[in-house]
Chain A
Amino acid sequence: MSRLEQLYQQLILDHHKAPHHFGEADPVTHDAVGNNPLCGDMYRVTLTVVDDRLIQVKFSGTGCAISKASGSLMAVALTGLTVAEALALKNRFLEFLNADGDPDGLGKLAALGGVRQFPARVKCATLVWRAFEAAIESGGHPVSTE
């Protein structure tokens, strides 16, 4: 595969064209915005966390194919995990992108590995993950049942 084919694998293009979990969680227990001021990309990640488990992971906003596909793949991968499992997966994924780590256990997320050859694009792949991290770190807010 050429560098471009590795960057824009069919799986990435499919998730870009028809992103999964695109929208807003309901109810929202945790949320955060990820913003790349260099390019104007902006996403909002919203979560429904019940009993320490991610019942819903949603993202919305605008950005490039890489950032959008990353949001879609992230939402799919994290839904149903406990918060601790999700944070561990996030760490493993970021390590994989930044340090040429092992793709074992990353499943479809490994398709985003093409960005490792495009240093300027690593931030595109990590943007929504940073927003997810910020949403969890925000501590969340109680869900109104009204």
Chain B
Amino acid sequence: MLNEGGRTQALSTDFPWVTANHGYSYLDNGATTQKHHAVIDRITAFLSAEYATVHRGVYRHSMAATEACEQVRHAFQTFINAPHAHEVIFTTGTTMGLNTAAFGMANQLKSGDEIVLTEMEHHANWVPWQQVAQRTGAVIKVVPITPVGELDYEWMATHLTERTAVVSVMHVSNVLGTINDIPRIVAMARQVGAKVVVDGAQAIAHIPVDVQALGVDAYVVSGHKMYGPTGVGVLWGKTDWLSTLSPFVYGGDMIETVTVTGSTFCGLPGRLEGGTPPIAEIVGLGPAIGFLQGVGWPRIMAHDEALRLEATTRLKGLDGISIYGESSTKTGVISFGVAGVHPHDVGSILDECQVAVRVGHHCAQPLMTVLGVPATVRASFGVYNSSQDIDRLVAGLEQVMAVFR
């Protein structure tokens, strides 16, 4: 049972880090997740006996490694219900995916064109577009958030224009936990002919993602936030949109022919995958996808919600805690402040109390400015967390208050 006597149990105990650190509560899943044993085992086996380069070799190991990577491409295609496997572009992570999208679109942007971002974006979805705007003369428009931490869709409805070329928005906020209404944004963008790029880093391990149902043009994720390896991610894009992008990384693997005077580039997905890819990491992503599919979204979402609701209720029961982000549609991400105590001090004391949280601006300084705080404390849940982790968090916060009484 997920929930016995009002207590939420872990969904999986197959995480070696969690076993090795018994008695310690890892609540920094928004930053990165621990690795499922199947991921570790697959990478170890692959590097131990199967490793070779991909795409180029005529020998058996290279062909098998290529096949292993392509299998993961197909697995990811199924995972997000993408129409075609060639639309799944392997990257090194969300930051690389968003840079590929932004700089890839730069040649289509003209002075005065609008790039629409939101106040809650992660720096990975701010800085590439800012750079592209500076180089093209495009203008950045920023969608405000409401007091509960949701996007102001009314504002959006009246501020997208014929000049809006792209809306780039996160699916789930890494600070507020808010799940944004992507289909609603897509409907507005379509009316003005704008493309929609979605930063799915915080969504991919928490809610089902069906890129066709969402209707977006691009969806970007990291492997390491979905119980898979670091150094690998996916940029999915519609074939028509991907085909308009200039490559972001030029070099080996992405070319058709190279002469001393010029080069021609290969088709999708290779055109956007310059250089030797993170082969072992791509292979290791496969079991992470399989793990999430095996557990299933109904259980993952019920577990995430049970922990979020329990933690929210119990934190609100403590004096001096303010929670940032109170949308009714949230994932298991809770940002909060402790009155009179800086988040850094909270983080150090919680670590002494065997709890890992993130403290700081969460790479979302524009959002911190809107919230009027320099930093927050963030607890974010994963499949191995349970009510016991919330017990430790609450006990740790009581210790914080005892030190700073």
| A120 CA / B348 CA spacing, docked (Å) | 9
Query: B365 in the interface, Cβ–Cβ < 8 Å?
Result: yes
Contacts of B320 in A (CB 8 A): none
Question: A4-B403, A40-B361 given as contacts; is B344 within 8 A of A121 (CB)?
Answer: yes
Q: Are B374 and A40 in contact (CB under 8 A)?
A: yes
| A124 CA / B342 CA spacing, docked (Å) | 12
| A64 CA / B343 CA spacing, docked (Å) | 7
- Report B339 CB to chain A, min CB distance, Å: 13
B332-358 near A? 1/0 per residue, CB < 8 Å = 000000000111110011001000000
Contacts of A3 in B (CB 8 A): 352
Q: Are A64 and B360 in contact (CB under 8 A)?
A: no
Query: B300 in the interface, Cβ–Cβ < 8 Å?
Result: no
Query: A88 in the interface, Cβ–Cβ < 8 Å?
Result: no
Q: Are A65 and B360 in contact (CB under 8 A)?
A: no
Contacts of A7 in B (CB 8 A): 348
Interface contact tally, CB-CB below 8 A: 52
Contacts of B143 in A (CB 8 A): none
Query: A39 in the interface, Cβ–Cβ < 8 Å?
Result: yes
A65 touches which one: B374, B375, B404 (CB < 8 A)?
B404
Q: Are A66 and B352 in contact (CB under 8 A)?
A: no
Query: A62 in the interface, Cβ–Cβ < 8 Å?
Result: yes
Question: A8-B403, A39-B361, A40-B365 given as contacts; is B342 within 8 A of A65 (CB)?
Answer: yes
Q: Are B345 and A66 in contact (CB under 8 A)?
A: yes
Query: A13 in the interface, Cβ–Cβ < 8 Å?
Result: yes
- Report B199 CB to chain A, min CB distance, Å: 21
Chain B 44-60 interface residues, beta-carbon cutoff 8 Å to A: none
Query: A103 in the interface, Cβ–Cβ < 8 Å?
Result: no
| A1 CA / B262 CA spacing, docked (Å) | 69
Contacts of A63 in B (CB 8 A): 342, 344, 374
| A25 CA / B375 CA spacing, docked (Å) | 27
Query: A99 in the interface, Cβ–Cβ < 8 Å?
Result: no
A29-68 near B? 1/0 per residue, CB < 8 Å = 0000000001111100000000000000000001111100
B348-383 near A? 1/0 per residue, CB < 8 Å = 110010000001110001001000001100000000
Q: How large is the interface on A (under 10, 10 to 19, 20 to 34, 35 or more residues)?
A: 20 to 34
The listed residue with most B CB atoms (<10 A of its CB), out of A39, A42, A63, is A39
Contacts of A120 in B (CB 8 A): 348
- Report A102 CB to chain B, min CB distance, Å: 25
Q: Are A40 and B345 in contact (CB under 8 A)?
A: no
Q: Are B342 and A118 in contact (CB under 8 A)?
A: no
- Report A39 CB to chain B, min CB distance, Å: 5
| A120 CA / B345 CA spacing, docked (Å) | 11
Contacts of A39 in B (CB 8 A): 343-344, 359-361, 374-375
- Report A92 CB to chain B, min CB distance, Å: 25
Contacts of B341 in A (CB 8 A): 65
Chain B 28-85 interface residues, beta-carbon cutoff 8 Å to A: none
| A104 CA / B343 CA spacing, docked (Å) | 32
Given A39-B374, A64-B345, A66-B345; 10 other pairs, CB 8 A cutoff: A8-B349, A8-B403, A38-B360, A41-B342, A41-B374, A62-B342, A65-B341, A65-B342, A66-B344, A118-B348
Binding site for A on B (CB under 8 A): 341-345, 348-349, 352, 359-361, 365, 368, 374-375, 399, 403-404
